[in-house]
Structure 1
Amino acid sequence: MTTTNHTDYLVRATALDERVRAFALNATGVVQELQRRHDTYPAVTAALGRTAMGALLLSASTLKEPDQVLTVDVRGNGPVRRVMVTADGRGQVRGLVGDPHVHADSTNGKLNVRGVVGTEGYLAVTKDLGMRETYRGMVELVSGEIGDDLAYYMAKSEQTPSAVGIGVFVNPDLTVEAAGGYLVQLLPGLSDDEIGAIEQRIAALPHPTQLLREGTTPEQMLERIFPEGYTFGDRQDVTFHCPCSRERFEAAIVSLGHEEVTRIVEEEEQPYTEVVCHFCNETYHFSPDEMQAILAAAR
């Protein structure tokens, strides 16, 4: 299931003779779709949306092939418990949350993401690059705000000092009005003055959602950070996409084995077996005859 919004895209760029890598995106439609599918309350919408955008930005900076996949898994001591997102080299993303219906009081008029995520726990990034082994890096949560935690991960686990600015603006009716942000990676060779100038301009930037609500594009975000100019790399659409399918769930049920499938069939109280994808909330129904066929395949 893919949902495309043509205003949703990500740009890659470099600046200062390729000593800086930069990425910016508008993912409003993606986060709208995540909110719709999971029926998240505002602070959870922001947590899930920020994590999704973080995964997209990290994927853009890391993945080289379309089929490679990056997962960001946030587990905190807050009531949402878990936020997990996967993104691939095509700019496709999906996610899930432990509890979509939790709330935390706003702080200074802003959604309290820290309140639902928690301040103790960890953020893990897993990269499946199509090789025999996957790469996994993990850091403790430093704020629970997601953006700061991703920047800490980049500095500690990837040894790349980075600035991460991501945000989600949620309307009173729970819909998403704006979602987007940027990732700026500082590479070796920059002088202290150059680093200081970049940091000052980022600190002076309005919040990413304010920029988006004013009509600022991802390219214009980068222009604000690099007024001396930057080298445009490419543009990539970003979309919500879940690769689940009826066939995949059939195979998953078969893999449970004959004994477990028999138990499911015998204990099912409805006239069908229902399977729900936790990433997209799509529901699949299997009739008794279909389950018997799966049962036979599981022998």
Structure 2
Amino acid sequence: MSDYIVRATAANETVRAFAIDSTEMTATAREKHHTFPVVTAAMGRLMGATAMMGSMMKGEDDKLTVTIKGDGPIGQMTVTVDSHGNVKGFPANPCVDIPLKYAGKLDVGAAVGAGTMTVSMDLGLKEPYNGQVELQTGEIGDDFAYYFTTSEQTPSAVGLGVMINTDSTVRHAGGFIIQMMPDVEEETIAAIEKVLQNSKSVSEMMEAGMTPEDMIQALLGDLNPEIFETVPVRFHCGCTKEKVAGALATIQTGELDQMIQDGEDIEVKCHFCNSTYKFSVEELKEILEKRNEEK
């Protein structure tokens, strides 16, 4: 089955929850960026969390971008999602190989390091909303929970997991977000905390064959959860040669002139999906001429 998010409420709508199966998008990102296992895990967690956060947006043209910039060997990771569930992202350094945290456990926190997480929401206003927090552990889930709690004043629990096969392919990827609404009762919070303390990890739940619906039931079953929406998500980059040509048209005239004078075809690569677009000298001349005509 393709990747999807379920959205739910519980405890008389005083709790809202999201759960995702992001296996395919994580596998696609790995294939496009040729990531080593620890980077695959880090990117998979970031894409899953960003996709769930993006499903909270309401506007048709809303976009969300989350950037994690750490001092670990990955450097920076950027993920963008639109309101239609299209997710894309890239790591600065896809080829990171560090020791395991312990047997069978990739050390995502060490690969990310200390730094910041920046959230930018383009909600169709004059300026996008930007929020930034210090990374707490670099494990991604803890960092999103801290962001929700401090920047949005919404106490949240975030669980993320990516399981990698011995051949470095993606076995499972997914996660959940549980958020407390302002009118939640203390008893409800205590009940959720108790369940989270004793629950299996996301990877363990998915390895047992649990779906996003099953995860919601396992975590909130005693609080009468109701799933009210299922949202498909996928790794998708909308880049085209025409869009790249439009970007080339925005660079300084002198740079375009230099490319043309060099007399050689150029290649432009999309950071998000690694697609490469070639432009001949004649095409560069057309881009420059069109821009001059529009002035």
Task: Please indicate the TM-score interval, normalised by the length of the shorter structure.
Answer: over 0.9
| Letter aligned with residue 32 of structure 1 | A
Percent identity of the aligned residues? 40
Q: Which runs of 5+ in 2 are unaligned?
A: none
SS in 2 for 1:256: coil
1:93-129 Cα distance to aligned partner (Å, 9 max, x none): 00011100012211122111011100x2100111000
Task: Give the distance between the partners of 2:76 and 2:259, measured in 1 at CA.
Answer: 27
1:241-263 Cα distance to aligned partner (Å, 9 max, x none): 11111001111111113211111
Match of 1:78 in 2: 72
Shift of 1:207: 1.3
Of 108, 115, 118, the residue aligned with 2:102 is 108
Task: Provide the aligned length of Structure 1 versus Structure 2.
Answer: 290
Of 96, 107, 122, the residue aligned with 2:90 is 96
Task: Give the distance between the partners of 1:66 and 1:12, measured in 2 at CA.
Answer: 18
Task: Give the distance between the partners of 2:178 and 2:192, measured in 1 at CA.
Answer: 9
Task: Give the distance between the partners of 1:192 and 1:255, measured in 2 at CA.
Answer: 55
Match of 1:30 in 2: 25
Task: Give the distance between the partners of 1:66 and 1:38, measured in 2 at CA.
Answer: 29
Shift of 1:44: 0.6
Match of 1:3 in 2: none
Query: Structure 1 residues 39-48 or 189-198, which shifts more?
Result: 189-198
Q: CA RMSD in A?
A: 1.2
Matched, 1:288 2:281: yes
Match of 2:149 in 1: 155
Aligned 8 A contact 1:105 1:115 in 2? no
Q: Which runs of 5+ in 1 are unaligned?
A: 1-5
Matched, 1:44 2:39: yes
Match of 1:219 in 2: 213
Task: Give the distance between the partners of 1:259 and 1:13, measured in 2 at CA.
Answer: 54
Q: How does 1:69-218 map to 2 (within 5 A)?
A: 69-109=63-103, 110-118=105-113, 120-218=114-212
Task: Give the distance between the partners of 2:216 and 2:201, measured in 1 at CA.
Answer: 13
1:31-53 Cα distance to aligned partner (Å, 9 max, x none): 00000000000111111111111
Shift of 1:172: 1.8
SS in 2 for 1:227: helix
Task: Give the distance between the partners of 1:244 and 1:69, measured in 2 at CA.
Answer: 15
